Amino acid sequence: MKESEANLNAFTVDLEDWYHGIELPASEWGRQERRIEIGFYKIFELLERYQVKATFFVLGWVAEKYPQLIKALSSAGHELASHGYSHEKVYHLTPAQFREEIKTTKKTIEDLSGKLLVAYRAPFFSITEKSLWALEILAEEGHTIDCSISPIKTWRYGIKNCPDEIFNITEPNIIEFPVSSFNFFSKRWAVGGAYFRLFPYVFTKRALENRGKNGRHSMFYIHPWEYDPAHPKVPMEKKAYITHYTRLSSTLPNTEKLVSNFKFDTVSKVVNNYQKQNGISNISINVLQG
C-alpha cells in the first residue's frame, strides 16, 4: 500500500550519460559510446506506467545534444531542473565559471521546454563547505531550490552539519532539499544512487518507511546509466568502480518495487507540500560552515 500524501517523496533523476558519472575529462566525451537513451527510456517508461512525475536534473551538455529528451520530459509533465553544464565539481570551478554554467544550462532547458526552471543539483553533490558561495549565485540567477548538499560526508562530497530535512537558507534566500539518509551499522547512507544497488532493496524501503513515520520527506536519486547494465566498463579507482558498476541489473526491478510501495512526485511539489504542512524552518548559512 502506498503512503499517504503526508509522506510524499521526491523522485529525481540526474540526466547524464555513463561517462559523465566517472570523472572522465570533457575532452574525452566525444570518443565514448553514447548510451543515454537506453537507460533514459527504461526509467521514463516505468514512470509513465506508474503515473509518477519526477524531477530530471539535466546536464546542459545533454540538453544541447538530446533536445528530444527534454521535449519528451516536458510533454509528459516531469519537472526540468539543472545539473550544471560540464559535470565538473562546483568546488573545482571559479564563481565566474559556475555562474556561466548555470546561466547557459537554465536558458537552454527553458528554451526547449518553454517552462521556468527553478531547481538545481550540483554534479557529485559538490556544494560543500568549500563551495557554499555557489548558493548565492544560484539565488541571483533565479534558482529557488537547491538539492546539492549531502549530510553524509564521503570522499567526494558532504556537509556533516547539514540538517536532513527541507529547510530555507536565510542569506541567500534559497530552499535546500538535501540528500536523504538512513543509519545502518552506526554509519549514514543515502537514499538512492549506489546505495540503492549496494544494499538489498529492503534497506531503502525501511528507510523511507521510518522517515515517513517521523513526518520526514525523502528524496530518491538515480541516473539513466544505472538502468543500463551493459554500458562500457572502464578502469578507475576501486572505490569509484564499486559505486558505479555494482549490481546495475537490480536497479530497474527495485525501482518498480519502490514506485509501487511509496508515493512520489517532483521536488517542487514535495517542497510546496512541506511548506503547506509544516512551514519551512530558516537556518543561517553559518550552520553549514560548521
Minimum distance between the CB of residue 219 and Zn ion, rounded to whole angstroms?
Answer: 15
C-beta separation of 211 from 172 below 8 A:
no
* Closer Cβ to Zn ion, 27 or 186, answer by number: 27
Count the Cβ atoms, other than its own, within 10 Å of residue 256: 13
Minimum distance between the CB of residue 125 and Zn ion, rounded to whole angstroms?
Answer: 9
* Closer Cβ to Zn ion, 14 or 265, answer by number: 14
* Closer Cβ to Zn ion, 112 or 122, answer by number: 122
183-201 burial code (b ≥16 CB/10 A, e <16): eeeeebbbbbbbbbbebeb
Which residue is closest to Zn ion by CB?
14
* Closer Cβ to Zn ion, 87 or 211, answer by number: 87
Cell, residue 209? 518507511
Q: Which residues bind Zn ion (CB under 5 A)?
A: 14, 16, 123
Minimum distance between the CB of residue 87 and Zn ion, rounded to whole angstroms?
Answer: 6
Minimum distance between the CB of residue 123 and Zn ion, rounded to whole angstroms?
Answer: 4
Minimum distance between the CB of residue 83 and Zn ion, rounded to whole angstroms?
Answer: 6
Return all residues near 174 (Cβ < 8 A) that are at least 6 apart. Answer: 135, 138, 139, 143, 144, 145, 146, 168
Return all residues near 56 (Cβ < 8 A) that are at least 6 apart. Answer: 12, 13, 14, 15, 73, 78, 79, 80, 81
Minimum distance between the CB of residue 124 and Zn ion, rounded to whole angstroms?
Answer: 7
* Closer Cβ to Zn ion, 16 or 176, answer by number: 16
* Closer Cβ to Zn ion, 8 or 190, answer by number: 190
CA distance 50 to 46: 6
CA distance 243 to 22: 10
Return all residues near 289 (Cβ < 8 A) that are at least 6 apart. Answer: 129, 132
